Copies of this chain bind each other. A is one copy, B any other.
């Protein structure tokens, strides 16, 4: 049997503290969020999107955003990201000291309007303002900026999205001067062949930019899509513990890919993620206790690690 010899490692980013919690009416306490970060860092995670800088009146679960960023910055070896929906949020995120800001634009105009009450074109304008604001900061206090292209494959409102539309928007985003682009299957329209095509096109056109993928498991295809993206050359993947998440403007969107299932797939394939699955399942149990019953899903936690992978390293 021939197995591939050259396998490059992957980066797995936890987004549950932001993308997961935005669906919950009441989030964990600040202390619980800190314990969550610690537990996943102990399992080997090195990058986490820890909050969203939105008005507390809109999303009270992120009222402690600045505190959480300050705490996370103190955790050794952790890259700290936060979502900023607009210039104001980006300023607050930069002040709090994030390593990277995540700004999101939907390829689908209807979804972008529902999500941030702007057209994608208006969002590009906002992105340029954010980039200019960041450029005005001293280099040692200047976070990076990554842009997520939501509904990159399809949208509950408009249906399937033309990959050329995603690529056109990506060109505008890249031209604005960003540090990375994430293609996001926000509501489960991606399939492995579409993922292979868009991933390859993105990697080819933006050879100098890190290209990541953010997959939801709405209709069960997240891991198949992740494998396809990996084959196409994508090396940066989002996920959330227990698949926590969804989208308030996409009915039926049932969460991110479960990060433990994603990591399990890579580890079983022999792709080193640097993450200890046994410890990650311990972290998952701790987080499950902070959330409403049944909030976390995923298959690995249900079945447990296979016999050959049970010992924590």
Write the residues of chain A forming the contact surface with B, with a CB cutoff of 8 angstroms.
1-4, 154, 156-160, 163-164, 167, 187-189, 191-194, 197-198, 201, 217-221, 223-224, 226-228, 252-254, 258, 261, 264-265, 268-270, 298-300, 302-304, 306-308
Residue numbers in B under 8 Å from A2 (CB-CB): 197
A226 touches B224 (CB 8 A): yes
B219 touches A300 (CB 8 A): yes
Closest Cβ–Cβ distance, residue A246 to chain B (whole Å): 10
A221 and B221 alpha carbons, distance in the complex (Å):
10
Closest Cβ–Cβ distance, residue A221 to chain B (whole Å): 6
Cβ-neighbour of A228 out of B1, B154, B227, B254 (below 8 A): B227
Residue numbers in B under 8 Å from A228 (CB-CB): 227
A154 touches B221 (CB 8 A): no
Cβ-neighbour of A159 out of B3, B253, B254, B307 (below 8 A): B307
A193 touches B223 (CB 8 A): no
Given A219-B300, A220-B264, 13 other A-B contacts at CB below 8 A?
Answer: A3-B194, A4-B193, A159-B307, A191-B265, A192-B269, A194-B268, A219-B306, A220-B265, A220-B300, A223-B223, A224-B265, A252-B304, A254-B299
B265 touches A192 (CB 8 A): yes
Residue numbers in B under 8 Å from A217 (CB-CB): 299
Residue numbers in B under 8 Å from A306 (CB-CB): 154, 156, 159-160, 187-189, 219
Residue numbers in B under 8 Å from A270 (CB-CB): 193
B303 touches A188 (CB 8 A): yes
Residue numbers in B under 8 Å from A302 (CB-CB): 252, 254
Closest Cβ–Cβ distance, residue A258 to chain B (whole Å): 7
Residue numbers in B under 8 Å from A167 (CB-CB): 1
B160 touches A220 (CB 8 A): no
Closest Cβ–Cβ distance, residue A110 to chain B (whole Å): 11
A156 and B4 alpha carbons, distance in the complex (Å):
26
Residue numbers in B under 8 Å from A221 (CB-CB): 223, 261, 264-265, 268
Most chain B C-beta atoms within 10 Å of own C-beta, residue among A2, A197, A261, A268: A268
Closest Cβ–Cβ distance, residue A256 to chain B (whole Å): 13
CB closest chain-B residue, reference A156: B307
Residue numbers in B under 8 Å from A3 (CB-CB): 193-194, 197
* Those 6 A-B pairs whose CB atoms lie nearest each other, nearest first: A220-B299, A191-B268, A159-B308, A223-B224, A220-B261, A193-B269
A164 touches B1 (CB 8 A): yes
Most chain B C-beta atoms within 10 Å of own C-beta, residue among A192, A219, A228: A219
A198 and B307 alpha carbons, distance in the complex (Å):
21
Also in contact, A201 and B269, with CB within 8 A (given A220-B299, A223-B224): no
